[in-house]
Amino acid sequence: QTSSVVSFNSVLWEWTLSSCWGDSQPSMPSTLSSNLHITHVVNATVNSPNAFPNTLCYLRLRLSDDAQQDLVEALPLASRFINTALKAEPAGRVLVHCSLGRSRSSALTLAFLMEHRHWTLLHALRWLKERRACTAPNVNFLRQLLTYEEQLFGNHTVFPVLCLNNNSYDPDV
């Protein structure tokens, strides 16, 4: 797991946005925190506690990865938290994490890219999937991201084809 944290952090150096996921590393060991200069953490898990509350700044969002979870408040809240951290002097580095690193953390990162980089959902989703192949917001989160994109830009750019047999989607169709 350590190498994936480092390599994914390196990929995102351009934006100084660092994301890492996995229940086995809810907020990563302090040595990685020191080496990667993480200053802020978005903890999007239901049960994983903030590992370093005395040394890192946290946004604690207790989000479930299911069809009932409402992200209406979480998307702009996480987006603003990430943006504030990145604009701090000196610039912060943000770790966004959930249990598997596929759905909740991806949805929050996509919201940030749309709101503060002014990227369409399609552009942000393709960009994030190039860097984190397992990126896959659940269908409920994708629907909410489409609504968020419409609120931000007046329309949406992703028209996903839902695969009902496995409750997934293909955003490129």
Q: Are 98 and 21 in contact (CB under 8 A)?
A: yes
Q: Name, in order, each residue with C-beta under 8 angstroms of 11's C-beta and a sequence gap of 6 or more.
A: 131
Q: State the catalytic residue, choosing from 20, 57, 98, 134.
A: 98
pTM beyond 0.95, yes or no = no
Q: What is the pLDDT along the chain (173 residues), one digit of tens a residue?
A: 333 233 333 333 333 343 443 444 444 446 556 677 788 899 999 998 888 888 889 999 999 999 999 999 999 999 999 999 988 878 788 889 888 888 999 999 999 999 999 999 999 999 999 888 889 999 899 999 999 999 999 987 766 555 444 555 555 54
Nearest 5°: CA angle at 29, between 55 and 100?
110
Domain ranges in the chain are 2-170
- The CATH number of 2-170, from 1.10.1740.10, 3.40.50.80, 1.20.120.720, 3.90.190.10, is 3.90.190.10
Active site residue 98: yes
